[in-house]
Amino acid sequence: MQDLQPTHRPVISATGLFTPAESITNEELVASFNSFVERHNQRHAEAIEAGEVEALHPSSVEFIEKASGIKARHVMSKEPILDPEIMAPRWDERPDDQLSIMAEIGVIAARQALERAGRKPEDVDAVLCAASNMQRAYPAMAIEIQEALGIEGFGFDMNVACSSATFGIQTAADYVRAGNAKSVLVVSPEITSGHLNWRDRDSHFIFGDVATAVLVEDEAIAPKEHWEILGTKLKTVFSNNIRNNFGFLNRAHPESAGAADKLFVQEGRKVFKEVVPMVAQMIVDEASKLQIDPANIRRLWLHQANAGMNRLIAQRVLGHEADEDESPTVLDTYGNTSSAGSIIAFHQHSDDLEPGDTGLICSFGAGYSAGTVFVRKVA
Ligand code: COA
């Protein structure tokens, strides 16, 4: 009997990127941090002497670059972050009838993706706001973005920390496969500066702000040049090694004393050790299921958390040390931008691939969570 069900193949039609104008170099960051340390140690000199308060230690540009590969990060609010008396981003609270800040940057990235695909907002069916933190509980950021863009249909928020964007891509691809949508925007506004503890020496250098957008569509309506989604795989394994306890049941403001756990905290070494083998194995297994020889993956657009992690993962997958062409880095200038990192890498380093080339977008982070999206260029 003939199968009457039409086949819907999901593809990536285009991506968009918003980069904040302001950027903080390691030198600027460390100067501010060390000034905070000096002031703290002076203010508490007697208590430190008496052993009641611990002296803080300075940060260093050399350590940051060597341990992480990060040289700078873009932020939405530079001055207060660098002010040793504040060390956090600051925004005026906006009235309810003004576009909120996460929606604002998400909309810019989304508009770029739509423009690049030649798509009108009215032809989009759904908006997923996939990010590692939302600035409010409700209404969903996605619905505000949907309204601002003039999209009918529906929108909702989803948070899978650093893997939010790849989980969003699979969700969008599943809507397309099922015939429930033909065009879905996955928007990831990541204002990570708001959940980073800029006073914590172990992690103050890690994050940066950005917004990305991915337009997932049915091949039937996609522009001539697009990326076929060959397969997606998601994985979560519970771990406390990356955690943020801020939430509506917690009264402590994240910046108040003793509330460091209401911001990002991690056991960086453990994350490194546990996540690298998990992700490398996941990529190899998934490639095998899709009958792709990992050595033939033309480019890896990996999550951008740590240069060392990416070096090891790429080596295990490709079987040799990857160069910048095979595994491009964006974390040197963007820092860790949570779920947006692998999407920035894809956005900035995919135009030069040839039709038929196979690549992999891969995320990993808190949860633990990891996602793979194997794609092939069509033009
Ligand atoms: N400046 C100078 N020295 C510092 C420092 C800083 N800012 N921060 C830590 N150090 C020191 C430590 O005190 C320690 O000194 P010791 O050996 O005398 O005890 C030493 O540097 C090593 O510290 P450690 O925390 O073990 O560093 P690391 O090499 O593990 O690097 C990370 C830290 C965070 C960069 C690294 O662990 C990492 O990137 N892990 C994965 C993170 C990740 O992917 N997270 C996901 C987030 S989504």
Residue 133 lies in a domain: no
Residue 129 a catalytic site member:
no
Percent of the chain with pLDDT over 90: 94
SS3 of residue 101 by DSSP:
helix
Q: Of 168, 107, 93, which Cα lies nearest the Cα of 141?
A: 107
How much distance in Å is there from the Cα of 201 to the middle of ligand 1?
9
pLDDT value of residue 2: 55
Residue nearest to atom 32 of ligand 1 (CA): 268
Residue 336 lies in a domain: yes
Rounded Cα–Cα distance for residues 310 and 264 (Å):
21
Residue 139 lies in a domain: no
How much distance in Å is there from the Cα of 245 to the middle of ligand 1?
21
End-to-end CA distance of the chain: give it in Å, rounded.
Answer: 34
How much distance in Å is there from the Cα of 162 to the middle of ligand 1?
19
Q: What is the mean pLDDT of the chain?
A: 96
> What pTM does this model have?
0.96
Residue 214 lies in a domain: no
Q: Of 318, 361, 328, which Cα lies nearest the Cα of 69?
A: 328
Residue 331 lies in a domain: yes
Domain count, the chain: 1
Rounded Cα–Cα distance for residues 308 and 60 (Å):
18
Question: pLDDT of 171-207, one tens digit each?
Answer: 999 999 999 999 999 999 999 999 999 999 999 999 9
Residue 191 main-chain phi, psi, to 5 deg: -95, 70
Q: Range of 241's domain?
A: 227-378
Question: pLDDT of 201-258, one tens digit each?
Answer: 999 999 999 999 999 999 999 999 999 999 999 999 999 999 999 998 887 777 777 7
Residue 282 lies in a domain: yes
CATH number at residue 257: 3.40.47.10
Residue 171 lies in a domain: no
Residue 263 lies in a domain: yes
Rounded Cα–Cα distance for residues 238 and 206 (Å):
22
Residue nearest to atom 36 of ligand 1 (CA): 268
Confidence grade of residue 4 (pLDDT, cut at 50, 70, 90): low
Closest-lying ligand 1 atom to the alpha carbon of residue 268: 37
Q: Is 305 in the pocket of ligand 1 (CB under 6 A)?
A: yes
Question: pLDDT of 305-324, one tens digit each?
Answer: 999 999 999 999 999 999 99
Question: pLDDT of 59-118, one tens digit each?
Answer: 999 999 999 999 999 999 999 999 999 999 999 999 999 999 999 999 999 999 999 999
State the CB neighbour count (10 A cutoff) for residue 304. 29
Q: Is 369 in the pocket of ligand 1 (CB under 6 A)?
A: no
Rounded Cα–Cα distance for residues 302 and 360 (Å):
8
**Pairing status of strand 126-130 against strand 183-191:** parallel
Closest-lying ligand 1 atom to the alpha carbon of residue 308: 39
**Pairing status of strand 183-191 against strand 209-218:** antiparallel
State the CB neighbour count (10 A cutoff) for residue 283. 26
pLDDT value of residue 257: 74
The dihedral built from the CA positions of residue 282, 265, 39 and 85, taken in this order, carries a sign that is: positive
Q: Is 341 in the pocket of ligand 1 (CB under 6 A)?
A: no
Q: Which of 143, 160, 162, 318 is catalytic?
A: 162
How much distance in Å is there from the Cα of 67 to the middle of ligand 1?
6
Q: Is 201 in the pocket of ligand 1 (CB under 6 A)?
A: yes
How much distance in Å is there from the Cα of 286 to the middle of ligand 1?
31
